[in-house]
């Protein structure tokens, strides 16, 4: 059975489709790898006591500042957004803190979350100061204009932090 | 080779990959592990396998029809278009972990209670895997493919008429 010899336009379109599909798969795979690797690298180095890029907690005049160094891994810039929402027993938001940082591959930048002084009284430990609140946590790792992303969120009840509702 | 035999052979890959293989693979996993994974992720895994099998049957029938049809028949581009669109919906279904309507976003609700008693006090953990980039660009490729199929049909029809 002899095949039809298709026109140049049809064949060119076929090559374009193949190239587009290959490029799409490669870019998507690379972006997903970058997001996951950035998240994993940051998480591992943050909690490793011997790491040069571990997270730190500092008392400042505005409150308690949590600094997490974000290390860019992969092929594309990655944006990491973290937010925490403090809610009382009636699930009303008392305070909300948020920070976002964009890192290029190989770059290290700090993500800073400051828990306001109204929530953390001087002289009290962080866990006891926050123990009365429901804590909503959201984390997003995105790349390629938010078209590839890993997002996660949960609510931690006061009982998990060792206290009751305020 | 007879075109009916060709049609039957062309239906086999979809049947094997989407109908037979998932059932065989799920048969090797203990049912307790499947129910635990289903309750942990909030997704019915056996239900997903059934849904993928429906896609498998549909794709197998469309593959057989497009192979069986003559190049200059309208059945060829029509079944090819349906095959491409069904494959795209299957991709969205897989990317959405059982929900094609999310356009490439898998929304999972992980139940911490399924992880153990040490997680008490932690509410349901929502996890989203966003692959809108893939869904969008494959959508562009699908439109191009459908266009190409109809261009091919036009040329085949003209070639047959000469």
pLDDT in tens, A29-71: 999 999 999 999 988 888 877 877 788 888 777 778 888 999 9
**Selection from A127, A132, A98 nearest residue A114 by Cα:** A98
Instruction: Classify residue A133: in a domain, yes or no.
Output: yes
- Could you give the number of structural domains in chain A? 1
pLDDT of the residue at A25: 95
**B103 Ramachandran zone, left/alpha/beta (phi>0; psi -120 to 50):** left
CB contact under 8 A, A24 and B141: yes
CB contact under 8 A, B138 and A32: no
pLDDT of the residue at B130: 96
Residue A166 above 60 pLDDT? Answer: no
Give the contacts of A84 (CB within 8 A, at least 6 positions apart): A96, A97, A98, A113, A115, A135, A136, A137, A138
- B19 vs chain A: nearest CA distance in angstroms? 25
Asked whether the beta carbons of B78 and B68 are under 8 A apart, the reply is no
Q: What ipTM score was computed for the predicted complex, to two decimals?
A: 0.85
Instruction: Classify residue A30: in a domain, yes or no.
Output: yes
Domain CATH number, residue A75 = 2.60.40
Instruction: Classify residue A46: in a domain, yes or no.
Output: yes
Give the Cα separation of B155 and B162 in Å (integer). 11
Instruction: Classify residue A3: in a domain, yes or no.
Output: no
Instruction: Classify residue A111: in a domain, yes or no.
Output: yes
Give the Cα separation of B21 and B86 in Å (integer). 19
Instruction: Classify residue A59: in a domain, yes or no.
Output: yes
pLDDT of the residue at A114: 86
Percent of chain A with pLDDT over 70: 86
Residue A131 above 80 pLDDT? Answer: no
Domain that holds residue A87: 25-161
- Residues of B at the A interface, defined by Cβ within 8 angstroms: 71, 112, 120-134, 136-138, 140-141, 144-145, 147-148, 151-152, 155-156, 159
Give the Cα separation of A28 and A149 in Å (integer). 10
Asked whether the beta carbons of B68 and B37 are under 8 A apart, the reply is no
Residue B96 above 50 pLDDT? Answer: yes
Instruction: Classify residue A5: in a domain, yes or no.
Output: no
Instruction: Classify residue A94: in a domain, yes or no.
Output: yes
pLDDT of the residue at A1: 47
pLDDT of the residue at B86: 97
> Would you say how long chain B is, in residues?
162
Give the Cα separation of B95 and B107 in Å (integer). 10
pLDDT in tens, B39-60: 888 788 999 999 999 999 999 9
A123 sits in which H/E element = none
Return the higher-pLDDT residue of A141 and A54: A141
Return the higher-pLDDT residue of B40 and B150: B150
């Amino acid at each position: 059975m002899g095949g039809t010899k298709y026109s140049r336009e049809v064949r060119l379109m076929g090559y374009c489709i193949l190239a587009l599909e290959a490029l799409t798969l490669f870019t998507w795979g690379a972006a997903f790898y970058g997001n996951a690797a950035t998240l994993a690298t940051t998480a591992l180095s943050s909690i490793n006591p011997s790491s040069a890029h571990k997270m730190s907690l500092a008392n400042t005049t505005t409150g308690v500042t949590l600094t997490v160094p974000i290390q860019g891994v992969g092929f594309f810039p990655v944006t990491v957004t973290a937010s925490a929402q403090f809610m009382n027993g009636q699930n009303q938001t008392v305070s909300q803190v948020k920070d976002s940082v964009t890192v290029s591959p190989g770059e290290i930048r700090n993500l800073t979350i400051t828990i306001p002084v109204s929530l953390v009284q001087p002289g009290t430990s962080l866990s006891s100061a926050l123990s009365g609140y429901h804590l909503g946590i959201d984390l997003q790792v995105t790349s390629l204009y938010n078209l590839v992303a890993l997002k996660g969120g949960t609510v931690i009840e006061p009982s998990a932090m060792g206290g009751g509702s305020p | 080779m007879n075109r009916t035999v060709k049609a039957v052979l062309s239906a086999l890959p979809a049947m094997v990959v989407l109908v037979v293989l998932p059932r065989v693979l799920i048969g090797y996993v203990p049912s307790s592990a499947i129910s635990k994974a289903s309750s942990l992720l909030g997704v019915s895994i056996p239900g997903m396998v059934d849904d993928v099998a429906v896609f498998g049957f549909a794709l197998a029938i469309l593959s057989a029809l497009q192979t069986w049809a003559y190049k200059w028949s309208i059945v060829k581009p029509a079944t090819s278009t349906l095959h491409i669109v069904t494959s795209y919906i299957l991709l969205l279904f897989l990317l959405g972990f059982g929900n094609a309507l999310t356009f490439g976003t898998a929304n999972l609700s992980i139940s911490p209670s399924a992880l153990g008693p040490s997680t008490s006090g932690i509410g349901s953990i929502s996890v989203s895997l966003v692959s809108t980039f893939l869904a969008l660009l494959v959508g562009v490729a699908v439109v191009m493919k459908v266009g190409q199929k109809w261009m091919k049909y036009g040329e085949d029809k003209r070639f047959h008429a000469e």
